[in-house]
A = this chain, B = another copy of it.
Amino acid sequence: TKRYNITLLPGDGIGPEVISVAKDVLNVAGSHEGIEFRFQEMPVGGAALDLTGVPLPDETLLAAKRSDAVLLGAIGGYKWDSNEKHLKPETGLLQLRAGLEVFANLRPASVLPQLVDSSTLKKEVAEGVDLMVVRELTGGIYFGKPRGFSTNQKGEEIGFNTEVYATFEIDRIARVAFETARKRRGKLCSVDKANVLEASMLWRKRVTTIALEYPDIELSHMYVDNAAMQLIRDPKQFDTIVTNNIFGDILSDEASMITGSIGMLPSASLGESGPGLFEPIHGSAPDIAGQIEVHSVLRAACFLLVDNVNKANPLATVLSAAMLLRYGLGEENAAKRIESAVLDTLTRGFRTGDIYSTGKKLIGCKDMGEEVLKSV
């Protein structure tokens, strides 16, 4: 039996529910593949703030660093929205990313045949979309210094941040992106704003240089405003996209919404070595929890009364657990087992509110977990 230590970070909002489902799925998938997990649950985000006064307690970071991989639920909520910066749940997530040095954030967005109707894009545009956003995660304007508040010469208050990239930061994320493209369809699109920003000019120069190491990959460059359009006009033109931290934040969320099933999308954040961080995309957008509720309330009203804590779609977290197995532990078979189980559950017609459509079987978070377990 192989043994792995997994740090579970349920976090806020729907986090605990979806993590609990993913944990069960990991246990069962592992048991089939001769893998045993030891889980350690630690607080992060708003939950940690309420408990300890800081959004990332030292113990949490230490536990995460010592484990083989980290699975995170969701972070943030209205309750802490007007906190000062160092007391925001989001700051805990950023500290965790920085602390684990997970500079490469892989965000797949593909339209599953079972869910093509969930997209607000026309069927012929959405069908077959299968792209991967590789987002730089520990640099750029999220972490650049100087930053803060000050007064200008006229005595007015200013708020400022620094977008900055060094060659090594660009080089290493570019290599991850080229490698990723190589395992996919061999096309990489680098997104920047090199017609305006010096940080983007250096980005484009380095990506072009690293491309020489990957003659088999077809590289293109696109300005970020154009990329935001092209994702809607024709998302199928993309295979792998590589971009900086803030553009990646925006474009990966846009790409995920194109699939129409953001409640389904996982992500992996990886460093050179050390444990990876795995989390659903939805967990990061503070508004989503609420919206999923509105969705399912509206859609489910005629079907059943859903309680307030059972409306989340756990599949993004379950698929994040699959990414954890693949990218974090190298357990490809167990990863595939989970992914097949999810597809099978969808094929059997089960849907949470956010991906519900007429004729399907509407269930809550826990029941979705039970159904996946049957297929694992």
A residues apposed to B, CB below 8 Å: 76, 81, 85, 88, 90, 94, 120-122, 125, 141-142, 144, 147-149, 152, 154, 156-168, 193, 195-203, 222-226, 228-234, 246-247, 249-254, 256-258, 262, 284-288
Contacts and interface: CB of A to CB of B under 8 A. Distances in A.
6 contacts: A158-B164, A158-B202, A160-B165, A225-B252, A233-B257, A250-B250
Oligomer: number of copies: 2
Given A228-B257, A250-B225, A156 B167 contact: yes
A330 B68 CA distance: 66
List the 7 shortest-distance A-B pairs measured between CB atoms, nearest first. A159-B202, A229-B257, A160-B164, A225-B253, A228-B254, A159-B199, A90-B195
A288 B230 CA distance: 10
Contacts of A164: 158-161
B250 A232 contact: no
Point out which of A197, A230, A286 has the most chain B C-beta atoms below 10 A from its C-beta: A197
Contact of A197 (B141, B157, B288): B141
Nearest to A284: B225
Contacts of A287: 222-223, 226
A198 B166 contact: no
Given A142-B196, A166-B152, A198-B85, A233 B159 contact: no
Nearest to A160: B164
Given A121-B122, A229-B257, A159 B165 contact: yes
B258 A232 contact: yes
A197 B201 CA distance: 22
A203 B159 contact: yes
Contact of A158 (B159, B165, B285): B165
B199 A161 contact: yes
A286 B167 CA distance: 26
Contacts of A202: 149, 157-159
Contacts of A222: 287
B201 A159 contact: yes
Contacts of A225: 249-250, 252-253, 284-285
A198 B121 contact: no
Contacts of A88: 195
Contacts of A201: 85, 159
Contacts of A157: 166-167, 202
